[in-house]
Amino acid sequence: MRAPVIKVVLVGSPNVGKSAIFNHLTGRYAAVSNYPGTSVDIAVGQFSCNGHRFEVMDTPGLYSLIPLTEEERVTRLLLAKRRPDVIVHVVDAKNLKRMLNLTMQLLDTGIPVILNLNIMDEARQIGMMIDIVRLEQLLGIPVVATAAVSGTGMGALTKAISQYQVIKPVFIPLNEQIERSVAGISALLSRNYGFDQRSASLLILQGDESAVAVAQTEAAWPDIAAAIKQLPFRPDHNLGALVAAARQDIIDKLIAQTVVYAPPGCRERKGLAPWLGKVTRKPLTGIPILCIVLYCGLYQFVGKFGAGYLVDYINNCVFIPILIPVAQGAVNAWIPWEWLRSLLVGDYGVFTMGFRYAAAIILPIVGTFFLAFAVLEDTGYLPRLAMLADSVFRYFGLNGRAVIPLTLGLGCGTMAVMVTRTLETKRERLLATFLLSLTIPCSAQLGVVLALLSHNPAAVILWSGYLLLIFAVAGRLSTRLVPGHRSAFYMELPPLRLPLIRNVIKKASTRMTWYFREILPVFVAASAVLWAGDRSGILAALIQYLQPVMGLIGLPPAAAQAFLLGFFRRDYGAAGLYDLAAAGRLTDMQLVVAAVALTLFVPCVAQFAVMVKERGPITACIMVALIIMITFIAATFIHQLLQLGLVLGLAGGIV
293-319 per-position pLDDT tens digit: 878 887 788 777 887 788 889 988 999
Segments forming the whole domain that contains residue 604: 283-332+346-483+507-651
* 267 occurs within a structural domain: no
Please indicate, yes or no, whether residues 288 and 150 belong to a single structural domain of this protein: no
CA atoms within 13 A on the CB side of 387: 19
Give residue-wise pLDDT tens across range 465-497. Answer: 888 888 888 888 888 888 777 777 777 777 787
As annotated, the binding site includes 12-19, 23, 26-27, 37-41, 58-61, 118-121
* 229 occurs within a structural domain: no
* 413 occurs within a structural domain: yes
Please indicate, yes or no, whether residues 519 and 381 belong to a single structural domain of this protein: yes
As annotated, the binding site for Mg(2+) includes 23, 26-27
Query: Is the pLDDT confidence value at 121 over 60?
Result: yes
What residues contact residue 466 under an 8 Å CB cut-off, 6+ apart? 592, 596, 634, 638
DSSP string, 218-249: STTHHHHHHHHHTSSS-TTS-HHHHHHHHHHH
Query: Is the pLDDT confidence value at 89 over 90?
Result: yes
Task: Look at residue 183 and give its three-state secondary structure.
Answer: helix
* 390 occurs within a structural domain: yes
Query: 255 vs 461, which has greater pLDDT?
Result: 255
Give residue-wise pLDDT tens across range 359-411. Answer: 887 788 888 888 888 888 888 888 888 888 887 888 888 888 888 888 878 87
Domains held by the chain: number: 2
CA atoms within 13 A on the CB side of 463: 30
Q: Residue 72 — very low, low, confident or very high, per pLDDT cuts 50/70/90?
A: confident
Q: What integer pLDDT is reported at residue 32 of this predicted model? A: 46
Query: Is the pLDDT confidence value at 567 over 80?
Result: no
CATH number, residue 137: 3.40.50.300
Q: What integer pLDDT is reported at residue 230 of this predicted model? A: 67
Q: Which of 441, 419, 399, 467 is nearest to 298 (CA)?
A: 441
As annotated, the binding site for GTP includes 12-19, 37-41, 58-61, 118-121
Query: Is the pLDDT confidence value at 650 over 70?
Result: no
pTM for this entry: 0.72
Domain end position, chosen among 110, 133, 166: 166
Query: Is the pLDDT confidence value at 550 over 70?
Result: yes
Q: Residue 271 — very low, low, confident or very high, per pLDDT cuts 50/70/90?
A: low
Q: What integer pLDDT is reported at residue 137 of this predicted model? A: 92
Query: Is the pLDDT confidence value at 591 over 80?
Result: yes
Task: Look at residue 83 and give its three-state secondary structure.
Answer: coil
Give residue-wise pLDDT tens across range 408-422. Answer: 788 777 778 877 877
Please indicate, yes or no, whether residues 160 and 297 belong to a single structural domain of this protein: no
Q: What integer pLDDT is reported at residue 34 of this predicted model? A: 42
Query: Is the pLDDT confidence value at 264 over 70?
Result: no
Query: Is the pLDDT confidence value at 41 over 60?
Result: yes
Centre a 10 Å sphere on the Cβ of residue 95 and count the other Cβ atoms it contains. 14
Query: Is the pLDDT confidence value at 539 over 80?
Result: no
Query: Is the pLDDT confidence value at 225 over 50?
Result: yes
Domain end position, chosen among 121, 141, 166: 166
Q: What integer pLDDT is reported at residue 156 of this predicted model? A: 92
* 399 occurs within a structural domain: yes
* 499 occurs within a structural domain: no
Q: What integer pLDDT is reported at residue 648 of this predicted model? A: 46
Query: Is the pLDDT confidence value at 635 over 60?
Result: yes
* 126 occurs within a structural domain: yes
Residue type, 550: M
Average pLDDT over residues 98-127: 91
* 642 occurs within a structural domain: yes
Helices (H), 380-425: 381-393, 403-408, 413-419
Domain end position, chosen among 166, 195, 212: 166
